[in-house]
Amino acid sequence: MPRDYYDILGVSKTATQEELKKAYRKLAVKYHPDKNPNNKEAEGKFKEAAEAYSALSDPEKRQRYDQFGHDGLKQNGFGGGGGFSGQGMSMDDIFSQFGNIFGDAFGGGGFGSFFGGNAQHRNTNRGSDLRVNLRLSLEDIYSGAKKQIKIKRFESCSTCRGEGGTGKHTCPVCHGTGNVRERVNSFFGQMISEKVCYQCQGQGTIIDSPCQTCHGEGRVKQEASIAIDIPAGVQDGNYMTLAGEGNAGKRRGEAGDLIVIFKERSHAIYTRSGNDVIITCVITWPQAVLGDEIEVPTLSGKVSFKLNPGTDNGKIYRLRGKGLPVLHGHRHGDQLIQIKIETPTQMDKVEKNLIKELYQLYSKKKNSKIEKFIP
């Protein structure tokens, strides 16, 4: 059974982001592979801490973890966050993801090369991810929807076919590695760190005749139209990751991802509570006293329901299964109907006389004052 992420980091469930970062840095230094060479147990704890921090440092993932535990992080590509498995990560992956944290702890040198890897060089050409907000109505969320969005992104240059130009020669500074080495001081003494080469920007080569269209980058900014298939039941803040739909990388590098974040529009008559929807129904005093058969709107069309005699102001009726669908599930929430009794403010003489007669009859029947005071 997986260990609790909060226990791994040694923090409470109310820990702030700063407390999480501090706890993670402490464990990272303690179980760092350079400090524990050939120690599989330390390496496992190092990866375990990275897994815990990856989940809890992301507000979306943390919310799902707090609500559903480890099962809440097993979705891929869609939801509050994709899964994360520290056991499946290489050291390069960890330092690529959390390099900013380690950089502070170890003199700003980074860790791209401390573990025999070269993650910075491998990822230099990859395009960046893009994030867009997509506003949805409750009707979209109820039924699911297909949307077309337009974005500005880098795409492969058609002039040079993404090559950046013609003719290449090896970078004289990094000698084709894409990185340069420098000595840095850390908690472990003086160490060798690698950084992206400033001359070739990590490419390892320099183009002799850069493309006039893309100026040697192999990509140009263009408008793109993206189709998005939205499943029913999404919530505000859920997101969908479209792999490879982000910015194209430099010189035929891998494209980044497009992350579409769903934002729920406010509705004219409904408010949402989880998968339930709430609507206020205004009725007359006679309806409240005598009861009635009334018609109310739902997200799937109008339905009739029975208003019971003697309905109090504020009473809530529940229509089972008339709420929003559960994401990737087979059931729906409910629609709650909150009753509001309307008090007439303008009446003609006949209406006022009838009310007075009713008041007198009611007073005699009760044989006491109308007012009641209850705790």
The pLDDT of 253-264, averaged and rounded, is 93
Out of 55, 89, 123, pick the residue that ends a domain. Answer: 89
User: Is 278 a domain residue?
Assistant: yes
- The better pLDDT of the pair 369, 112 is held by 369
User: Is 36 a domain residue?
Assistant: yes
Looking at the chain, the whole-number percentage of residues with pLDDT higher than 70 is 82
Pick the closest to residue 131 from 239, 248, 263 (CA basis). 239
Q: What is the pLDDT of residues 65-95, one digit of tens each?
A: 887 787 767 644 454 433 333 444 555 555 5
Pick the closest to residue 65 from 147, 130, 4, 129 (CA basis). 4
Out of 66, 89, 112, pick the residue that ends a domain. Answer: 89
User: Is 374 a domain residue?
Assistant: no
360 lies in which domain range? 271-366
Picking from 27-31, 221-225, 302-306, which range would have the lowest pLDDT averaged per residue?
27-31
Q: What average pLDDT does the chain have?
A: 83
Amino acid, single-letter form, for residue 322:
K
pTM of the model: 0.62
User: Is 30 a domain residue?
Assistant: yes
pLDDT value of position 80: 46
Q: Is the pLDDT at 301 greater than 50, yes or no?
A: yes
pLDDT value of position 186: 64
User: Is 74 a domain residue?
Assistant: yes
CA distances from 196 to 56, 215, 339 (A): 30, 20, 65
Out of 64, 89, 114, pick the residue that ends a domain. Answer: 89
User: Is 292 a domain residue?
Assistant: yes
Measure the CA–CA gap between 240 and 375, rounded to whole angstroms: 51
User: Is 195 a domain residue?
Assistant: no
Picking from 3-7, 141-145, 236-240, 356-360, which range would have the lowest pLDDT averaged per residue?
356-360
pLDDT value of position 329: 83
User: Is 132 a domain residue?
Assistant: no
Domain harbouring 83, CATH code: 1.10.287.110
Using a 10 angstrom Cβ sphere, with 0-12 exposed, 13-18 middle and 19 or more buried, the burial of residue 111 is buried
Domain harbouring 352, CATH code: 2.60.260.20
Q: Is the pLDDT at 261 greater than 90, yes or no?
A: yes
Instruction: Count structural domains, the chain.
Output: 2
CA-based angle 61:263:248, to the nearest 5?
75
φ and ψ of 78, to 5 deg? -145, 150
